């Protein structure tokens, strides 16, 4: 039985999620169905896609899984040592390993094409478009206030900055908050995120990766 399992895992590594399969529709107006499923077998985590492809990631000796989830084209696994992420068009699992003294996230927020998590030291984002992990390291005494995701957009709000994540442009896009500027509300939609503070409206668009702003209060109409 163990020999058979080894053969299966080898085949999954050699023949991962189909290289010829295309990323699900990139039109941000198109919602995605569930395109991935994660299963666990012995000491491996395996992702299956909707077209029959698969990819396996071997777990380390003594490594334990704390949490996992899939949505749309992305899947994430949290263990006691690292964050593992995969997309429907991935050729391999991506990992963000926790550093010494770093506390891992308790959960991850997923959209159809993005995922966002916060450890004690950094924000970690998964761009389901390219299948890459990105990160932003917090400054001294910088703290996370909130995280939000839409289908194709993610935001991490700290007491100093807003970090926008897009699966179409790649990377974290930051904009600074004013000293003592207070966040009142964060409103996600599939392709943009609106952050309302006591001074401004700040909007992040996933198609451009650009923050725009409008000061408050709005001028009265004449």
Cα separation, 21 vs 53, whole angstroms:
9
Average pLDDT over residues 117-142: 96
Average pLDDT over residues 45-56: 90
Cα separation, 54 vs 14, whole angstroms:
10
Span 11-20, pLDDT tens digits: 444 444 443 3
Count of alpha carbons within 13 angstroms of residue 91, beta-carbon side: 4
Average pLDDT over residues 79-105: 96
DSSP 177: P
Query: Is the pLDDT score of 49 beyond 80?
Result: yes
Average pLDDT over residues 110-115: 96
> Mapping DSSP to helix (H, G, I), strand (E, B) and coil, where does residue 207 land?
coil
Span 57-73, pLDDT tens digits: 999 999 999 999 999 99
Contact call for residues 200 and 162 (beta carbons, < 8 A): no
Query: Is the pLDDT score of 9 beyond 80?
Result: no
Phi and psi, residue 79, nearest 5°: -120, 180
Query: Is the pLDDT score of 79 beyond 90?
Result: yes
Residue 220: band (very low, low, confident or very high) from pLDDT cuts 50, 70, 90: low
Tokens 């899939």: give the residue. Answer: 70
Which of 12-16, 137-141, 159-163, 187-191 shows the lowest mean pLDDT across its residues? 12-16
Phi-psi category of residue 192: left, alpha or beta, with phi > 0 → left and psi -120 to 50 → alpha: beta
Q: How many other CB atoms sit within 10 Å of the CB of residue 138? A: 19
Residue 27: band (very low, low, confident or very high) from pLDDT cuts 50, 70, 90: low
pTM comes to 0.84
Mean pLDDT of the chain: 88
Q: How much is the pLDDT for 42?
A: 87
Cα separation, 78 vs 69, whole angstroms:
9
**Which residues have C-beta within 8 Å of that of residue 81, sequence separation ≥ 6?**
60, 63, 97, 98
Contact call for residues 82 and 68 (beta carbons, < 8 A): no
Q: How much is the pLDDT for 31?
A: 61
Residue 26: band (very low, low, confident or very high) from pLDDT cuts 50, 70, 90: low
Q: Where are the domains of the chain?
A: 2-21+29-215
Tokens 């957009």: give the residue. Answer: 153
Closest-CA residue to 112 (of 79, 61, 141, 75): 75
Cα separation, 56 vs 12, whole angstroms:
6
DSSP 59: P
């Amino acid at each position: 039985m163990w020999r058979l399992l080894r053969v299966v895992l080898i085949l999954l590594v050699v023949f991962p999620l189909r290289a010829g399969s295309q990323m699900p529709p990139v039109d941000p107006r198109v919602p995605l169905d569930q395109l991935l499923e994660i299963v666990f077998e012995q000491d491996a985590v395996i992702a299956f896609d909707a077209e029959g492809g698969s990819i396996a990631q071997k777990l380390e000796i003594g490594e334990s899984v704390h949490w996992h989830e899939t949505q749309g084209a992305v899947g994430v696994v949290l263990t006691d040592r690292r964050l593992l992420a995969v997309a429907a068009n991935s050729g391999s699992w991506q990992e963000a390993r926790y550093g010494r003294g770093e506390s891992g996230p308790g959960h991850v927020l997923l959209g159809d094409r993005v995922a966002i998590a916060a450890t004690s030291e950094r924000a970690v984002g998964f761009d389901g478009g390219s299948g890459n992990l990105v990160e932003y390291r917090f400054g001294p005494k910088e703290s996370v206030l909130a995280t939000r995701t839409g289908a194709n957009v993610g935001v991490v709000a700290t007491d100093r900055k807003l970090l926008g994540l897009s699966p179409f442009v790649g990377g974290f896009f930051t904009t600074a908050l004013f000293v003592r500027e207070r966040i009142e509300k964060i409103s996600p939609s599939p392709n943009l995120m609106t952050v309302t503070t006591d001074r401004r409206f700040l909007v992040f668009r996933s198609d451009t990766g650009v923050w725009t702003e409008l000061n408050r209060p709005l001028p009265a109409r004449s």
